Amino acid sequence: MKVVVTGAAGQIAYSLVPFLCEEGIFNSPKKIDLNLVEIPQAMERLDGFVKELEDSAYSTINSISTFDNIQDAVIDADWCLLVGSIPRGIVLNGKEIKERSDLLKINGGIFTEQGSAIGKNAKPSCKILVVGNPANTNALIGKINSKIDSQLWMAMTMLDALRAKAQLAHKLNCHVDEIYRLAVFGNHSPTMFPDLENTFVDGKSAYESINNHDWVENEFLPRVQQRGAEIIKARGASSASSAARAACETVKAVEHPTRSGDVFNAAVMSDGAYGIPEGIFSGFPLISDGRGSIEIVRDYSLSDFAKTGLKRTADELVAERNLVKDLI
Ligand code: NAD
Ligand code: LMR
């Protein structure tokens, strides 16, 4: 089992790689060959991390290798977790990067090269999770440049779903495990649409249990949509431990069958489901059979409020696609 992580000397990877090395994540008895990728300037920092991973003596690991080029790192890869890229909140050329979309031109180029390398060198069955922002459009750039259909490209919206579950559990005074069918549609950006109208807690509609549309629209939605910015403001750096856990949860969700009656969240290439235009990466409710096949769940009923939210986030994704026309 070959697993590639880019941005491996960064803050997300520092939590993510140990999570991935725990037993059972990949639902496979095979040991892991871990390929860690960084830019040349960060290789020394990466070597320090590798020493710590060696000292952790994971029983799941067969080998750990480091790379400063993507082409060799992804040869025969089963999984690629594409974290390497610039986060927002930092100052570049005297200007603070405020929105994830401001990263399009800076990070987009990384994904042309990585997409093409994965298409040529990784396994035809390779699964790819894009974490680096703007994740949805980076995934689109990567997939188009891979020029191969059999690989599964996803962008991470699991963190948004976990954030929404945490807020809902707090509101309804329930445990996060009691929440079913919570879906986050659209972009990993302030336009994302976490839907509560199809969410169930203890067999009952979460929306009806809350019985307060004003809270849903004016407290819950903005809180989840702006959580990334809230964390940057408080920490002085973008979320890392929670992002790492969400990435690991996405791998687990793909590699294990989805629990009965539930969904998991990731952004995949739209085929027109729920009126989201084809050919953009949008968050959808998904199920996995645990044997490599994932599907969009198509039975959510959308109110006019939800339809307006989905249109707004889809419009933003189409606009992002137009901005990277030269890369796809
Ligand atoms: P970081 O700056 O700590 O680490 C990023 C690492 O990527 C750095 O070590 C850098 O050297 C490396 N890198 C840059 N270009 C690379 C390339 N071409 N190949 C390999 N490595 C490269 O940042 P971080 O906090 O780990 O965040 C990484 C990305 O994840 C950011 O874009 C951030 O916005 C994004 N993010 C996404 C989500 C999500 O929910 N989708 C959540 C949190 C953060
Ligand atoms: C997040 O949602 O925490 C990440 O996408 C980082 C960011 O820029 O908000």
Q: Is the pLDDT of residue 215 over 80?
A: yes
Cβ count within 10 A of residue 143: 27
- Amino acid occupying residue 113: E
Closest CA to ligand 1's atom 12: 7
Q: Of the residues 4, 5, 12, 41, which should be mutated to test ligand 1's pocket, given the most ligand atoms within 8 Å of the CB?
A: 12
Asked if residue 249 and residue 213 are part of one domain, the reply reads: yes
Does residue 78 or residue 328 have the better pLDDT? Answer: 78
Task: Give the whole-angstrom CA distance, residue 258 versus residue 243.
Answer: 21
Q: Tell which atom from ligand 1 comes closest to the C-alpha of 156.
A: 41
Q: Residue 256 — very low, low, confident or very high, per pLDDT cuts 50/70/90?
A: very high
Helix axes 104-121, 135-146, angle to 10 degrees: 40
Residues 106 and 62 in one domain: yes
Find the CATH number of the domain harbouring 311: 3.90.110.10
Q: State whether 83 and 6 are in the same domain.
A: yes
Residues serving a catalytic function are 188
Lowest mean pLDDT among 88-92, 202-206, 275-279: 88-92
73 and 171 part of one domain: no
Using the predicted structure, report yes or no on whether residue 89 has a pLDDT greater than 80.
no
Q: Provide the domain limits for residue 29.
A: 2-155
The pLDDT score that the predictor gives to residue 106 is 83
Q: For 72-110, give the DSSP string.
A: HHTTT-SEEEE--SPPTTSEETTEE--SGGGGHHHHHHH
CA 237 to the chain's CA centroid: 18
Lowest model confidence (mean pLDDT) among 68-72, 101-105, 279-283: 101-105
pLDDT tens, 155-180? 999 999 999 999 999 999 999 999 99
How many C-beta atoms surround the C-beta of residue 245 within 10 A? 18
Residue pLDDT, tens place only, 137-150: 999 999 999 999 99
Residues 259-301: pLDDT tens digits? 999 999 999 999 999 999 999 999 999 999 999 899 999 999 9
User: Are 237 and 319 members of one domain?
Assistant: yes
- Same-domain status, 27 and 112: yes
Each residue of 25-42: pLDDT tens digit?
999 999 999 999 999 999
Q: Is the CB of 242 under 6 A from ligand 2?
A: no
Q: Is the same domain home to 163 and 142?
A: no
> 238 alpha carbon to ligand 2 midpoint, in Å?
6
**Among candidate residues 114, 133, 155, the one where a domain is terminated:** 155
| CATH code, 35 | 3.40.50.720
Same domain for 9 and 57, yes or no, is: yes
Number of structural domains the chain divides into = 2
Report which of residues 117 and 87 the model is more confident about: 117
**In the listed set 95, 121, 155, which residue is the last one of a domain according to the structure?**
155
**Least reliable range by pLDDT among 66-75, 81-90, 122-131, 155-164:** 81-90
DSSP 52: H
Q: Are residues 236 and 256 in the same domain?
A: yes
pLDDT at position 92 is 75
- Same-domain status, 81 and 169: no
Whose alpha carbon is nearest atom 9 of ligand 2?
228
Q: Tell me the average pLDDT across 197-205.
A: 95
The pLDDT assigned to 198 comes to 98
Average pLDDT of the segment spanning 308-315: 98
Residue 96 clears pLDDT 90, i.e. is over it: no
Chain segment 222-249, per-residue pLDDT in tens? 999 999 999 999 999 999 999 999 999 9
Bridge partners (DSSP) of residue 65 are 35
Residue-level pLDDT at 91? 79
Residues 141, 166: one domain?
Answer: no
Distance 62 CA to ligand 2 centre (A): 32
The token pair that represents 304 in the structure block = 């006019």
What ligand is nearest to the CA atom of residue 131? 1
Q: Same domain, yes or no, for 118 and 141?
A: yes
Task: Give me ligand 1 centre to Cα 194, in Å.
Answer: 24
Choose one of 155, 173, 205: the last residue of a domain. Answer: 155
- 216 has a pLDDT exceeding 90: yes
Rounded to the nearest integer, the mean pLDDT of the chain is: 95
pTM of the predicted model as reported, rounded to 2 decimal places: 0.97
Distance CA 104, CA 320 (A): 8
